[in-house]
Amino acid sequence: MLKGGYMGKILRVNLTTQTYAEENTTEELASNFIGGAGLGIKYLFDEVPAGADALGQDNKLIFAPGPLTGTSAPCASRMAVVAKSPLTSAVGMCTTGGYFPAELKFAGYDALIIEGKAERPVYLWINEGKVSFRRAEKLWGTNTFDCQQLIKDELGDQNIRISCIGPAGELQSRIACIINERRAAGRKGLGAVMGAKNLKAIAVRGHKTVPVACENDYREARSRMLKTMKESPVLYSAFANTGTPMVVEATWGLGIFATRNWSATGEWNPVEKLGIKANNSRKIGKEHCYNCPVACSQLKLAREGIYTGSLSVPEFETIYAFGGQTGVDNLDSIIAADRLCDELGLDSISTGVAIGFAMELYEKEVLTKNDTDGIELNFGNHEAMFKLVSKIGYRKGFGALLADGVKCAAEKIGGNAEKYAMHVKGLELPGYDVRGAKAHGLNYATSYTGADHNRGYVFQEIFGIPEPEAVDRFAYEGKGRLTKWNQDIRTATCDCPTMCAFLLDMAFPANAAQNSADMLSSLTGLNFTPQEIEKIGERVNNLARAFNVREGFTRKDDNLPERILTEPLKEGGSKGHYISRTELEKMLDEYYYERGWSAEGVPTRRKLLDLGLKNAAEELEKMGVL
């Protein structure tokens, strides 16, 4: 019997049969996987068969907050959303914050597993233990903001929390996301999985409280956590007032603000037009996630031209995607494009990268106006960039070509288009030009979700933080060990319990495992040591890897785009640097060694058994790869 942190139940919903059942959250599951990403990936591995169509009946969509979610722990607002990704065919895992994840706990659930496919559009209404399947034909076609409001009105409660898809998810765009409030489970096309299930939205309301096992210990652990947050040199000062756009300036200084489809990184200074002052001049307020004392989300209002009146929270990655990547320096257009992505339910990173990719092909005359519906798609053309967003979201005209991401678009275009498609395993690259941050490159190559900064962010290289040790960002030696550490610690301390990952680099780079052990042990009454926390991170990363191996991924998929491997940066703070093929292979060798995997990147039987993943070992054995 679980004493704290967990609500004790997992809700399983079948859309085909329109039935639901409750299952117990077991102590074994809690001790070995904590919750969040760990729990989601465990169910994904066990229940989604190898080779399942990500947009078919067999894929499952799992929403999993963690034990800390919905408690008084600061910044524990999140949940993992997990499915097989239709964009990458690998594990699709995103986290999202806001208020929906905590509400799912208040409704009594540690996770929600969605199976099957509804015959007609529906939305789920989870009201404290009661589940109803409601018709959503009228909602089909609405944008995500209107959808949320219409459901609240229909159910007569403005405090209901809603996760939903927009038109992009309905049209099964493989870069569609899931939106709750103004937050996104943004990447890997999870919105398409929801759309393929004919599930427009999930509405949740609950009034339960999350139990605490050892009140005194928990209170003390929480005080220590808050104290450490206060000691951060940046969290409550610059970050709370600026948010992630400050990273535009840092990456410019380091020469890694990826620019013009990564063809001109370091050759452009974005600070004046896209930096902190420009962002702050559009700021009209702040938003925060459940029980977050930081409130990093900076609400911005576009004030010029056709973009006037658009309101959004463009984060660093969005500024990269619609700014650096497309060469656009008009911040108002970026705010408007971000808003449009949220409304349509599109991943802003993948959308911007797709547009920048098309721009380069247009400039190289691989694409012409005949292909682009008459749009002059030059780098820097903000109106063209903005127009394309809705074409992608609605799969209209030229937008349909980009609506499934750059890998798919490059295959359709043919020729040498793939050379300009900036992705790993199909997932578009986030905004750090890894030629000047090599462990970050290794993380893009090996993350179980594809090119994902969030699965192993290398704050040692990007912010210079010397934990667990100082790192030379241009070196490749030692990066295998570092990448394993970053991936495991982030999984275990952020993606599973949950904790907003911004705290990891800004407050807990040196003692995240201890903090999680203290918080989780006192909350749940289970005994988590820092060593076990790290091991859970390793377990989850190995299980995710086993899923990908079972899907047919091999060492050759742990790759980087050709441009990264062949074109040194020409200007800026990382001038002359790139990751050579030899360096990538050496980093992979070291990484696999550190992980205890074979030279082919397959977890060994010994490693899987050591982590208690007997089932995964048997599955890989059946395939003959172990």
Closest approach of ligand SF4 to the CB of residue 223, in Å: 19
Stretch that binds other proteins, among 79-87, 205-213, 329-337, 456-464 (CB under 8 A): 456-464
Binds 244: which of other proteins, ligand SF4, none (CB < 5-8 Å by kind): other proteins
Binds 75: which of ligand SF4, other proteins, none (CB < 5-8 Å by kind): ligand SF4
Report the chain's terminal Cα–Cα distance, integer Å. 36
Q: Which is nearer to other proteins, 162 or 349 (CB)?
A: 349
Residue 202 and residue 164 in contact, taking contact as beta carbons nearer than 8 Å: yes
- Candidates 40, 255, 450, 603; binder of other proteins (CB under 8 A) is 255
Closest approach of ligand SF4 to the CB of residue 253, in Å: 23
Strands (E), 17-154: 19-24, 61-65, 79-84, 91-96, 111-115, 122-127, 130-135
- Candidates 36, 67, 167, 436; binder of other proteins (CB under 8 A) is 436
**Cα(239)–Cα(506) distance, rounded to whole angstroms?**
9
Choose among 251, 256, 243, 242: nearest CA to 271. 251
Question: Does 79 contact other proteins by CB under 8 A?
Answer: no
H/E run at residue 13: strand 9-14
**CA quadruple 490, 492, 494, 498: dihedral, nearest 10:** 170
- CA distances in angstroms from 36 to 32, 94, 282, listed in the order given: 12, 10, 35
Choose among 249, 271, 275, 228: nearest CA to 463. 249
Residue 116 and residue 64 in contact, taking contact as beta carbons nearer than 8 Å: no
Q: Which is nearer to ligand SF4, 362 or 508 (CB)?
A: 508
**Cα(231)–Cα(595) distance, rounded to whole angstroms?**
33
Closest approach of ligand SF4 to the CB of residue 195, in Å: 26
Question: Does 467 contact other proteins by CB under 8 A?
Answer: yes
Question: Does 33 contact other proteins by CB under 8 A?
Answer: no
Q: In this structure, are strands 111-115 and 9-14 parallel, antiparallel, or unpaired?
A: parallel
Which amino acid appears at position 396 of this protein? Answer: K
Closest approach of other proteins to the CB of residue 476, in Å: 14
Binds 509: which of other proteins, ligand SF4, none (CB < 5-8 Å by kind): other proteins
Q: Which is nearer to ligand SF4, 349 or 389 (CB)?
A: 349
Stretch that binds other proteins, among 125-133, 164-172, 242-250, 300-308 (CB under 8 A): 242-250
Contacts of 166 (CB under 8 A, 6+ apart): 142, 143, 144, 147, 176, 179, 191, 342, 343, 344, 345, 346, 393
Closest approach of other proteins to the CB of residue 562, in Å: 23
**Summary count for the chain: helices (H), strands (E):** 27, 17
Q: Which is nearer to other proteins, 38 or 430 (CB)?
A: 430
Question: Does 474 contact other proteins by CB under 8 A?
Answer: yes
Residue ranges binding ligand SF4 (CB under 6 A): 75, 77, 97, 288-289, 292, 294-297, 500, 502
**Cα(456)–Cα(421) distance, rounded to whole angstroms?**
22
- Candidates 453, 490, 550, 563; binder of other proteins (CB under 8 A) is 453
Q: Which is nearer to other proteins, 285 or 464 (CB)?
A: 464
Residue 291 and residue 75 in contact, taking contact as beta carbons nearer than 8 Å: yes
Binds 276: which of ligand SF4, other proteins, none (CB < 5-8 Å by kind): other proteins
Residue 461 and residue 471 in contact, taking contact as beta carbons nearer than 8 Å: yes
Closest approach of other proteins to the CB of residue 575, in Å: 7
Helix (H, G, I), strand (E, B) or coil at 162: strand
Question: Does 575 contact other proteins by CB under 8 A?
Answer: yes
Find out whether the peptide bond into 483 is cis, omega within 30 degrees of 0: no
- CA distances in angstroms from 564 to 110, 218, 402, 471, 538, listed in the order given: 41, 46, 22, 20, 28
Q: DSSP code of 421?
A: -
Closest approach of ligand SF4 to the CB of residue 503, in Å: 7
Question: Does 318 contact other proteins by CB under 8 A?
Answer: no
Binds 599: which of other proteins, ligand SF4, none (CB < 5-8 Å by kind): none
Question: Does 464 contact other proteins by CB under 8 A?
Answer: yes
**Cα(317)–Cα(189) distance, rounded to whole angstroms?**
17
Question: Does 250 contact other proteins by CB under 8 A?
Answer: yes
Binds 246: which of ligand SF4, other proteins, none (CB < 5-8 Å by kind): other proteins
Which amino acid appears at position 78 of this protein? Answer: R
Closest approach of other proteins to the CB of residue 572, in Å: 8
H/E run at residue 411: helix 405-413
Stretch that binds other proteins, among 187-195, 221-229, 350-358, 572-580 (CB under 8 A): 572-580
Closest approach of other proteins to the CB of residue 233, in Å: 4
Closest approach of ligand SF4 to the CB of residue 288, in Å: 4
**Cα(408)–Cα(421) distance, rounded to whole angstroms?**
9
Question: Does 506 contact other proteins by CB under 8 A?
Answer: yes
Binds 292: which of ligand SF4, other proteins, none (CB < 5-8 Å by kind): ligand SF4
Closest approach of other proteins to the CB of residue 271, in Å: 5
Question: Does 508 contact other proteins by CB under 8 A?
Answer: no
Interface pattern 194-233 for other proteins (x via CB under 8 A): --------------------------------------xx
Which amino acid appears at position 365 of this protein? Answer: E
Residues binding other proteins (CB under 8 A): 232-235, 238-239, 243-244, 246-247, 249-250, 252-255, 269, 271-272, 275-276, 296, 315-317, 432, 436, 453, 457, 459, 462-467, 470-474, 502, 505-506, 509-510, 573-575, 577
